[in-house]
Amino acid sequence: MIQTERAMSVIGQYVFNGLMLGMIYAMVAVGFTLFFGVLDVIKFSHGDTLMVGAFAGLTASTGVLMLDIGSPWIRLLAVVLAAVCVTGLLGAAIAKWLVLPLHKAPPLNTLLATLMLGTVMREAVRLFYPDGSNSQPFPSLLPTDAIEFGGFALRADNVILLLSGLAIIAGVHFLITRTRLGMAIRAVAQDGETARLMGINFEAVVLLTFALGSGMAALAGVMNGLYYNEINFNVGLLLGVIGFAAAILGGLGNIYGAIIGGFLFAGLQVLGSATLPALIPNIPSAYKDVFAFAVVIILMAWKPTGLIAEKSSERV
């Protein structure tokens, strides 16, 4: 009986961890999909934008605490607002002064430019943020009460994070499919020149799309910090690569594919961390990333266009 409860507890922890990771990866992957949808560009500084958002939120939390405001909900509000505002403005600035000027250049130019920009952002945080080269503790701002289910402790903060991620993705989906801004984004994604002729402000739509995708990345960074209670200047590097892999796996240019790819990648990581130590003695569970990327490579070779292939009439 005790062994059964222990097994159920471990399985429950694996499943919930997979759901949380999948939510974070999906939010990052949706950003890549939005950028590719409107401009056919790969913005490789996206992961580092996530990192900047997490550090902006941490700075806001510290600032509120210095004002002798101890309420965790006010600090959480400050964290979210700071992260989204900073990265939204950063994403729009990157689009206006880096991506749009390179719009007519070969795609490789934009890829390399954003890749180098990501390195600049990462190193700037490492060098100029106080003690930025080391991991920074992220404040625990959510209730930590837990409900026991046969040995598995379901914590309130984890449930709140998961539901918040679902709400964010649902909100973005509603914005893209049910609002005038979403209609403009989809029109630009279909044909930018025709959208201009129809009176749509092409540049404004691109800037808003990059701000939206960057804001989602910031929220993913905050969720990651709240879940693991720490962040570091390298946190966006791996999350960016995984988010991009998830977007490619699901079908670049398709939001639903990005979401499926994010959860699938997380499932592969959880499967690897659970099975590799049992199949190969003395192998650390950290090899879950190697396992997940290896399976993704096989899937990409099998389905080069992604699990949900982009239709020419359906983008974003």
Residues 204-253 pLDDT 10s: 999 999 999 999 999 999 999 999 999 999 999 999 999 999 999 998 88
The helix/strand/coil state of 288 is helix
The helix/strand/coil state of 153 is strand
Q: Compare 37 and 27 and report the one with higher pLDDT.
A: 27
Q: Give the Cα separation of 22 and 166 in Å (integer).
A: 11
Tell whether the model's pLDDT for residue 315 goes beyond 60: no
Instruction: Give the lowest-confidence range in 114-123, 186-195, 293-302.
Output: 186-195
Residue 291 lies in a domain: no
Positive or negative, the CA dihedral 152, 156, 161, 164 is positive
Q: Which amino acid is present at 12? A: G
Q: Give the Cα separation of 111 and 43 in Å (integer).
A: 6
Residues 245-292 pLDDT 10s: 999 999 888 899 999 999 999 999 998 888 877 777 767 666 788 889
Q: Give the Cα separation of 156 and 16 in Å (integer).
A: 12
Q: Which phi and psi (to 5°) does residue 310 adopt?
A: -70, 130
Positive or negative, the CA dihedral 63, 54, 131, 284 is positive
DSSP 203: H
Residue 59 lies in a domain: yes
Residue 177 lies in a domain: yes
Residues 285-311 pLDDT 10s: 667 888 899 999 999 999 888 888 665
Residue 88's domain spans which residues? 22-143+152-234
Q: Which phi and psi (to 5°) does residue 144 adopt?
A: -110, 15
- How many degrees, rounded to 5, is the angle at CA 60 between CA 57 and CA 61? 90
Greatest mean pLDDT range, 8-12, 150-154, 204-208: 204-208
Residue 85: predicted pLDDT? 97
Residue 312 lies in a domain: no
Residue 311 lies in a domain: no
Strands (DSSP E) contained in the chain are 136-137, 146-149, 152-155, 230-231
Q: How many domains does the chain have?
A: 1
Tell me the CA distances in angstroms from 235 to 15, 22, 117, 241, 282, one per residue in order.
22, 16, 16, 11, 27
Residue 42 lies in a domain: yes
Residue 313: predicted pLDDT? 44
Residue 12 lies in a domain: no
Q: Give the Cα separation of 264 and 127 in Å (integer).
A: 35
Q: Give the Cα separation of 81 and 63 in Å (integer).
A: 13
Q: Give the Cα separation of 53 and 131 in Å (integer).
A: 17
Residue 123 lies in a domain: yes
Q: Which of 92, 83, 137, 91 is nearest to 118 (CA)?
A: 91
